[in-house]
């Protein structure tokens, strides 16, 4: 079993989160419901609210 440092593990988790947020962003653009987004992208309601806020700011 390869040794993974704590920095590598944090980096991997950040990458996974970025991927899940990208999935959520695309689902928002396609008009999916919050429930579907939360289930499919496996993000928290807080992360979804933050993403919606960021997307709203970008659209301005």
**What pLDDT, on a 0 to 100 scale, did the predictor assign at position 57?**
76
Q: How far, in Å, CA of 38 to CA of 56, rounded?
A: 18
Phi then psi dihedrals of residue 32, to 5 deg: -70, 155
Q: Give this prediction's pTM.
A: 0.75
pLDDT, residue 10, reads 87
Q: pLDDT class for 60, splitting at 50, 70, 90?
A: low
Q: Give pLDDT, residue 1.
A: 66
Percent of the chain with pLDDT over 90: 67
């Amino acid at each position: 079993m390869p040794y993974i440092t704590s920095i590598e593990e944090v980096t991997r988790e950040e990458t996974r989160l970025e991927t899940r947020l990208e999935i959520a962003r695309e689902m928002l653009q396609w008009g999916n419901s919050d429930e579907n987004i939360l289930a499919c992208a496996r993000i928290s309601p807080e992360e979804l609210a933050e993403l919606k806020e960021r997307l709203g700011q970008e659209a301005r």
